[in-house]
Amino acid sequence: MKIKTGSEYMSSLQATNPVIYYKGEKIEDVTVHPATAPHVRAAAMTYALASQDEYHDLATATSHLTGREISRFTHVHQNVEDLIKKVKLLRVLGQKTGTCFQRCVGFDGINATYATVYEIDKKHGTNYLERFKKWLIRIQDENLMVVGAMTDPKGDRSKSPADQPDPDQYVHVVERRDDGIVIRGAKVHMTGAVNSHEILVMPTAAMNEASKDYAVICSLPIDAPGVTMIFGRQANDSRRDLQENLDVGKPSFGVVGGEAVLVFEDVFVPRENVYMDGETDFSGLIVHRFAAHHRANYGACKTGLMDVLTGAVTYLAQIQGTAKGSHVRDKVTEMIHLSETLYSSSIACSAEGVPTPSGAYMVDTMLANVCKQNVTRFHFEVARLAVDLAGGFIATLPSEHDLRNEDVGHLVKKYFSGVEGIPVEDRMKIGRLIEAMTGGTAMVESMHGAGSPQAQRIMIFREGKLNEKIKLAKALAGIPSRKEKEVYPQLISREK
Amino acid sequence: MKIKTGSEYMSSLQATNPVIYYKGEKIEDVTVHPATAPHVRAAAMTYALASQDEYHDLATATSHLTGREISRFTHVHQNVEDLIKKVKLLRVLGQKTGTCFQRCVGFDGINATYATVYEIDKKHGTNYLERFKKWLIRIQDENLMVVGAMTDPKGDRSKSPADQPDPDQYVHVVERRDDGIVIRGAKVHMTGAVNSHEILVMPTAAMNEASKDYAVICSLPIDAPGVTMIFGRQANDSRRDLQENLDVGKPSFGVVGGEAVLVFEDVFVPRENVYMDGETDFSGLIVHRFAAHHRANYGACKTGLMDVLTGAVTYLAQIQGTAKGSHVRDKVTEMIHLSETLYSSSIACSAEGVPTPSGAYMVDTMLANVCKQNVTRFHFEVARLAVDLAGGFIATLPSEHDLRNEDVGHLVKKYFSGVEGIPVEDRMKIGRLIEAMTGGTAMVESMHGAGSPQAQRIMIFREGKLNEKIKLAKALAGIPSRKEKEVYPQLISREK
Amino acid sequence: MKIKTGSEYMSSLQATNPVIYYKGEKIEDVTVHPATAPHVRAAAMTYALASQDEYHDLATATSHLTGREISRFTHVHQNVEDLIKKVKLLRVLGQKTGTCFQRCVGFDGINATYATVYEIDKKHGTNYLERFKKWLIRIQDENLMVVGAMTDPKGDRSKSPADQPDPDQYVHVVERRDDGIVIRGAKVHMTGAVNSHEILVMPTAAMNEASKDYAVICSLPIDAPGVTMIFGRQANDSRRDLQENLDVGKPSFGVVGGEAVLVFEDVFVPRENVYMDGETDFSGLIVHRFAAHHRANYGACKTGLMDVLTGAVTYLAQIQGTAKGSHVRDKVTEMIHLSETLYSSSIACSAEGVPTPSGAYMVDTMLANVCKQNVTRFHFEVARLAVDLAGGFIATLPSEHDLRNEDVGHLVKKYFSGVEGIPVEDRMKIGRLIEAMTGGTAMVESMHGAGSPQAQRIMIFREGKLNEKIKLAKALAGIPSRKEKEVYPQLISREK
Amino acid sequence: MKIKTGSEYMSSLQATNPVIYYKGEKIEDVTVHPATAPHVRAAAMTYALASQDEYHDLATATSHLTGREISRFTHVHQNVEDLIKKVKLLRVLGQKTGTCFQRCVGFDGINATYATVYEIDKKHGTNYLERFKKWLIRIQDENLMVVGAMTDPKGDRSKSPADQPDPDQYVHVVERRDDGIVIRGAKVHMTGAVNSHEILVMPTAAMNEASKDYAVICSLPIDAPGVTMIFGRQANDSRRDLQENLDVGKPSFGVVGGEAVLVFEDVFVPRENVYMDGETDFSGLIVHRFAAHHRANYGACKTGLMDVLTGAVTYLAQIQGTAKGSHVRDKVTEMIHLSETLYSSSIACSAEGVPTPSGAYMVDTMLANVCKQNVTRFHFEVARLAVDLAGGFIATLPSEHDLRNEDVGHLVKKYFSGVEGIPVEDRMKIGRLIEAMTGGTAMVESMHGAGSPQAQRIMIFREGKLNEKIKLAKALAGIPSRKEKEVYPQLISREK
């Protein structure tokens, strides 16, 4: 691994020249700009853990391509153990950053692409996998951060890509040249894009023949000509931008992964970095696989976040003098219960992982979707309980400026203290931490990251093996089997 | 009514001189400072509605003291109809401001005080009610805004007022003079304080004899010497302070009612404005009554907010092309269902209202507590559904500065548009509105305003008439009645 | 009122000759047959209450047709007070019987028919109302029990009445004669039918022109030639049939209202008892009104049942020694909270009641639907909590026969006792009461009576005034009004 | 394995002579008595699967004691794979019986005892493990069914065993002889007891020194002198007893596992079958382990039941013509989602299994408790959804006797049919199946089997590592570490 530490990672970013806009201005150095630096630090933690003895085994792997030690975030899962170690790694990272550390997106993109282009080659006689392996070995050896770029803006959602009034609402090939392709469009919600080295473009949905130009997988550097990023606003971003650290709640890290819209204005991609071009019959499959991996992850990293939140409210209860209340204990219990329920599905879909034809391991699709579906419920409920236990002061607390003010600072100190002997800053900091982890952007990301709730429900229904379940019920009820048409004939899950 | 319109209200505020700090600086004029002006405008709506024909009947009442037309917000409820009209008025105001309009706190304080001091006089031979009526007639005639000041900081919550290491953690009388009293302490979460004319101080809990100095009700002007306010931070307050209007979501109004900590540093209150001084046997009762009125209100104003949120996601679905999805309709249905369930309890506790000995009407305590308890659940669930339906873009949307930027503005326009023909600003504005109404401070206030969830549960259990219910069960099960001790002998509800 | 007491009611039933089958045999006298007697006793309670001073005001009314005192169950609501008194009456009856007392169905049928035929007459120049009043005065004066017969079997639910392979899956007119009509078909889930005096037939859904023969309202005696009833099985019906009283749990009353399928095999109805015949444009309206009244009721009677259940588990906790556990108190609190939330909507939809053109009062449709929707959730949750608090013994308790057995009776006594001094029978009886009130049939009835959950959701969506809500959201977000098509143009609620 | 098939199992039962009472009479042969035969058949399925190729690998294991092939139900888990295979086996058995197959109780008892007595021997120098192994080898070789007997009646639950007015409320040693011990007391909720060969008695809770006589583990034959069983009533047991098969819903199997109270009236147990006698320091540990294993199982077998229920409602929707409704698909999706969430925790606690000092593997305690806690919620919700989708007819359906009656049979056929061409029996059978699987006893067992909800919450809180979580939160909030007392110092989980 070329990049070995968090600081080497930061230096490597300074060596790139991406075009990034934020609040109407360009960001020159993401490692120091207050809007992006917290996100850089969270991603840096993925590098840092690899060099700590305690986490080395979780944070690294042995490349099946080269036999060399690599970051787990660049690894193609080779067995169930790999899948489970990933889950544990993500929970630790969630605990240590309290936020999104962003690097799963490229990780899952790599795994989904690897398994899928293997099958494209088998069917269509292409040689995508060789190209992809070559690129991947470089990613592994240099230990680069990759942004997985899947979600298109979609424009009018009642229309397919080819039917959009504006054809650019989905990324597509606008020119094919001997040496490569030219792409146009945008990818939205690009977590970690501004501090990545490389982009891995993938299609966002199953496509039909008419959408051939939209079925494209390729990779390119983050600072390729024609690539522009616009970094999104987040809850209370001005506190972060103005470095009002006490009020930020989490002084080192952001509220979620920094997210950008990533625009491709006729960007050239060399042929050797193109891994799908028009094979619409596989565009659904790569989405299916990427989504399953990514949904599995949410039960791990979000559990890490909920661990932090549970600790935060417990500490706050202690310093407010309420820790002994039976309803406090009961709500803390509920927070743990919901967190561990989530974690269960991440572990379970990994333990039930299966090899794809390429040898790369996939999580169990059903359980991975179940996992993310629960995130969209339980993370909100855990946040609600945290808000309940924290008390109203997290919504009415004066700013750090008032605490430091010579006229009223003593009043803030006097009237926001809790149990004797605990500095008022402790209560303010922990209150702000809870505020940051329960409000706005943090929750929205939890809802929609890795796919909105309805996307999981469609998969859960489809993978539900309903016709088999009907047979079980009829057998028990003593109803004779007859030749009857299946209720949901369309329900044939791809991989089972 | 002296103050008849919103602008007269604003002028009247400019005639006061309160001491207000915010982010380490003094606010000189709350009607123009960007941090407070949105809250002033929301409170102004309570004045404005009275002069609109459509709402005149809801927004005004006839004083039972003077026979003159007054704002309903200064009225003592005389019957069930009054209680129901209040509910309808609050829902309309919630719909029109999308936020807290703050004036209920004083309103409920007036009603709770009126009914309680009547009973203090009866028992203790005091003449508090006469004093209070005199003050109240002035409030009614001048149409002043009153902040109801109940919640003390409480310090170490495992200790009673008199046992706190710092005796000032609850407001108390530090000196009694012939002409009045001197009070010290603070009240927190003071909604609307910075734009009120008068303060009505009330105790925050049932008190024992040892806490005699803490059993105090009195009124004083907002700019009385020794009164200092520190205005709290709110979610995304910098967007508001910097007048980034598109990004604020609700350009005219705040995310919740502006809230301050209100500090009394040895403030003198003339005898004629003292309405309780040491009658600890009534401090529980006034809290009980204030809480019931205030909890009833939350089912009305929050329903108004949820109406807005339901409209917002429906409109967004329309302009994103998803309005026809069956899951969209189902989630919208659920939002309506939860909103109307809340509203039911507000209406019901009013329809079941009863007169107190003073003639002032009280809502049904059980149903009012049930109402607020549901707010702490359903408002979060409605917000969760709104976030689900809105989609992830509300967490990753670039700022208005980028929309206006000449390099990337066209990209924001292109890639954040939805259905053809709808300006991108519509989608951004409605997205920001949903962001503002579902995140952080808005939800915390909904949880804790009018009392945290556990406070309601204690009341619900206490008012549950369990011993009567046991009799019903035994009768149906055919179990003979025996002389046995009651399960929860302490369960004797005060007013039933 | 001719029938004044419970026993007069029973005698009056013995004077009728309905054809009733149960478990393959005919029931000759419903007042003594163990399968039907408990239901008769529950209905008798509606008669008995009228003569008790405490309940006289709730249980009776003054006929707007005759000015005579009548049972409230035969009354046409004349104002909001009537609607609210009905709610209180139903809660009391639920508390006293712990089951369905069945008489609401006819009550709501009367109210829906009265208001609707008034409008049919206005539009079509018919004279249905006169006929109906004549019948109703007899019902009032004789104080008869009427079964409201609405729900048809429906056959293949994907098909409309006229498209069914079997045309009899909805009740329809098969012959029109000078002196009357002949009807065929069946009504299912007929609560209280076997112990009613009269049947009021109504259509089950909105109809189109092709279904003219299905748009019929008429009344007939329960023992009219050609009417056959088959009484349904219920949970643990054999315990009731064998009079194993301790094991029944509720020795005097049934687990729900006794329900039958009511078959019309070419039954003649005289012209003077026909109140709709082919006016398909009103078949939707009567269903809408009947459903709203009936859904409103469920929030009242089921609250009565939940009161019993709450008392039962509290008593059980006392005699098992667990009443002091904080989790026990918390779950009891939750049971009360959910019960009172339900009750709120019943009260609220009544307090918001409005007159129809006929003068008969209607509940608020939205809130009535919200009410029933919550029944389908909260009653289950209350039952779940009751099962939790009761403990596992309600599923493994030996029968009364074992308690009475000389070999093992002492063992049952010894090992199923709780707190010292409480007879084992108390624990067994209260356990069996909880078993009866939480299992099987009781819960199914709660789910589907007055309409299945989806039926309410359709109404809630339709009555949700979404286009008005969109306007609120746009105003707050600062989006200018434009001439745009409404999102859900079909959403025009009938009565608002 | 001596007993190889279901019928050999039945014959082996006929060779025993247990004393069983039911409804006041003795049961002579459990394999033919209608009250017990369905439970025997379900247990027989655990034997039958072992000889089917498809399930052989799941249903058998290799004894670590003898190297011989044994039923998995007599195996001591040797690794994570064993734990996972058990989960899969239980789900299959749930799917094939739709009920409790009872054999886990002894299975978990064996595993908990094995691991615990190993540690008793280490600490106290006893030789319990040798005795236990000898007994276990016989169980394995003969393939016997063992009832794990843990739950005592408990009497007054506010008192400990030694403080009960009646000392027999917990099983205890009343006499110690050279050749063995004499025990007295009872065990309640004994699933599968009446059709087991052997009893394994274990203590029910952590004990203190004063309760030395209550800390006893031992085994004895089901027909040992002084052992009496009284078999409990279940929902609709008379339908089963009268063999009204269509109405039973599940003609071959019971609604839950048959449960009895198992009474020991001074029963002698030879010394060689005593595995704990007074080592109170280990009575908590065996309960902890038994509970964890047993709670893990519920996520597997109940998922199997929910699979059946999901199939049942889907089939019913098909034959009623409602399968295409979007709300039907959505509710079916939810049923699957909840089932698979449960299953996740069963898999996860197995995948995270760890060896005990004895080498026997334990599931992860936290996740096992989380699993069972979710059963107590999700199984009810799945049942509620099934009742919703089934429709009201499952509560009002006439009996099979009416279907067979010559007068009204044709009416039942006509009016309870659904989609053309499907026999009415199909709809009735599947309706009755749903009735049997959602009502009464089935749900109570799901709530309380393997421990009531509060028991799991206590464990979840205790295992929640709150002090570590506080450290995470403080680190992220930037609060310096101080020497402060831990919030919940008692929270030291035993095995971590």
pLDDT, one tens digit per residue, over D99-108 is 999 999 999 9
Residue A44 lies in a domain: no
Q: C365, exposed or middle or buried, with CB in 10 Å at 0-12, 13-18, 19+?
A: buried
- C494 touches D at CB < 8 Å: no
Gap between the Cα atoms of D5 and C420, Å rounded? 48
Residue A493, pLDDT score = 39
Max Cα–Cα distance, chain D, nearest Å? 85
With a cut of 60, say whether residue A285 has pLDDT above it.
yes
Overall average pLDDT of the C351-357 stretch: 98
Residue C440, pLDDT score = 87
Q: Name every chain D residue with its beta carbon within 8 A of the beta carbon of B326.
A: 326-327, 330
Scanning every residue of chain A, which has its alpha carbon at the shortest distance from the alpha carbon of C330? A327
- Tell me the residue range of the domain where C456 lies: 287-462
Helix (H/G/I), strand (E/B), else coil: B184: strand
* Cβ neighbours of A11 (radius 10 Å): 12
Max Cα–Cα distance, chain C, nearest Å? 85
DSSP strand E in A303-447: where?
Answer: 354-355, 361-362
Helix axes D453-462, D283-320, angle to 10 degrees: 120
For residue C312, give the amino acid letter. Answer: A
Q: Do residues D438 and C440 touch, judged by C-beta distance below 8 A?
A: yes
DSSP C399: P
Residues contacting D410, CB < 8 A, separation 6+: none
A183, A188, A192, A193: CA torsion to nearest 10: 30
* Cβ neighbours of B484 (radius 10 Å): 12
Residues contacting D328, CB < 8 A, separation 6+: D317, D322, D389
Gap between the Cα atoms of D464 and C194, Å rounded? 57
Q: How confident is the model at residue B1 (pLDDT cuts 50, 70, 90)?
A: confident
Residue B321 lies in a domain: yes
Gap between the Cα atoms of B172 and B155, Å rounded? 14
Q: Pull the structure tokens for residue C494.
A: 């009938």
- C229 touches D at CB < 8 Å: no
Residue A490, pLDDT score = 46
Residue B473 lies in a domain: no
- For D242-252, b where at least 16 C-beta lie within 10 A, e where not — what string? eebbbbbbbbb
> pLDDT tens for residues B218-235?
999 999 999 999 999 999
Q: A406, exposed or middle or buried, with CB in 10 Å at 0-12, 13-18, 19+?
A: exposed
With a cut of 70, say whether residue C485 has pLDDT above it.
no
Ramachandran angles phi, psi of D144, nearest 5°: -90, 155
Residue B28 lies in a domain: no
Q: Name every chain A residue with its beta carbon within 8 A of the beta carbon of B435.
A: 235, 440, 444
Gap between the Cα atoms of C332 and C335, Å rounded? 5
Overall average pLDDT of the B117-136 stretch: 98
Residue B494, pLDDT score = 37
Task: Report which of A26, A97, A366 is spatially closest to residue A252, judged by C-alpha positions.
Answer: A97
B: neighbours with 3+ CB pairs under 8 Å?
A: A, C, D
Gap between the Cα atoms of C98 and C91, Å rounded? 10
Residue A391, pLDDT score = 95
B193, B194, B198, B200: CA torsion to nearest 10: 20
Q: Do residues C398 and C321 touch, judged by C-beta distance below 8 A?
A: no
Task: Transcribe D400-422 into DSSP letters.
Answer: HHHHH-TTTHHHHHHHT--STTS
- A448 touches B at CB < 8 Å: yes
The nearest CA of chain B is from the CA of D325 a distance in Å of: 10
Gap between the Cα atoms of C351 and C373, Å rounded? 19
Average pLDDT score, chain B: 95
- B388 touches D at CB < 8 Å: no
Catalytic residue among A33, A36, A97, A100: A100
With a cut of 60, say whether residue B496 has pLDDT above it.
no
> pLDDT tens for residues A109-154?
999 999 999 999 999 999 999 999 999 999 999 999 999 999 999 9
Residues of D designated as active site? 100, 104, 191, 259, 294, 298, 301, 445
Residues contacting A310, CB < 8 A, separation 6+: A332, A335, A336, A339, A382, A386, D464, D466, D469
Phi-psi domain of C451 (left: phi exceeds 0; alpha: psi -120 through 50; beta: other): left
CATH number at residue B334: 1.20.140.10
Overall average pLDDT of the B258-269 stretch: 97
* Cβ neighbours of D481 (radius 10 Å): 8
- For A141-174, b where at least 16 C-beta lie within 10 A, e where not — what string? bebbbbbbbbbbbbbbbeebbbebeebbbbbbbb
Helix axes B365-390, B453-462, angle to 10 degrees: 140
With a cut of 50, say whether residue A53 has pLDDT above it.
yes
Overall average pLDDT of the B163-171 stretch: 95
> pLDDT tens for residues A167-211?
999 999 999 999 999 999 999 999 999 999 999 999 999 999 999
CB contact under 8 A, C232 and D395: yes
3-class SS shares of chain D: helix, strand, coil, % to 5: 55, 15, 30
Q: How confident is the model at residue B104 (pLDDT cuts 50, 70, 90)?
A: very high
Residue D239 lies in a domain: no
81-100 in chain A: CB under 8 A from chain D? 84, 95-98
Max Cα–Cα distance, chain B, nearest Å? 85
Q: What percent of chain A has pLDDT over 90?
A: 94
Residue D485, pLDDT score = 60
CB contact under 8 A, C327 and A327: no
Gap between the Cα atoms of B73 and B71, Å rounded? 5
Gap between the Cα atoms of A135 and D126, Å rounded? 64
DSSP C173: E
> pLDDT tens for residues A356-411?
999 999 999 999 999 999 999 999 999 999 999 999 999 999 999 999 999 999 99
CB contact under 8 A, B327 and D327: no
Average pLDDT score, chain C: 95
For residue A337, give the amino acid letter. Answer: H
Residue D489, pLDDT score = 52
Which residue from D261, D401, D445 is facing C415, i.e. has the nearest CB?
D261
- The strand pair at A198-201 and A180-191 is best described as unpaired
Residue C236 lies in a domain: no
ipTM, two decimals, is 0.96
Residue C320 lies in a domain: yes
DSSP C296: H
Residue B472 lies in a domain: no
Q: Pull the structure tokens for residue C159.
A: 């098909």
Task: Report which of C202, C374, C382 is spatially closest to residue C295, judged by C-alpha positions.
Answer: C374
Q: B494, exposed or middle or buried, with CB in 10 Å at 0-12, 13-18, 19+?
A: exposed
Gap between the Cα atoms of B162 and B180, Å rounded? 22
Overall average pLDDT of the B121-139 stretch: 98
C: neighbours with 3+ CB pairs under 8 Å?
A: A, B, D
Average pLDDT score, chain A: 95
Q: Name every chain B residue with its beta carbon within 8 A of the beta carbon of D326.
A: 326-327, 330
Mean pLDDT by 10 residues, chain D (496 residues): 93 97 98 97 97 96 98 98 98 98 98 98 98 98 98 93 94 98 98 98 93 97 98 96 94 94 98 97 97 98 98 96 95 98 98 98 98 97 97 95 97 94 94 95 94 96 95 94 61 38
**CA distances, D106 to each of A2, C30, D191 (Å):** 56, 49, 10
Number of domains in chain B: 1
> pLDDT tens for residues C139-148?
999 999 999 9
- D330 touches B at CB < 8 Å: yes
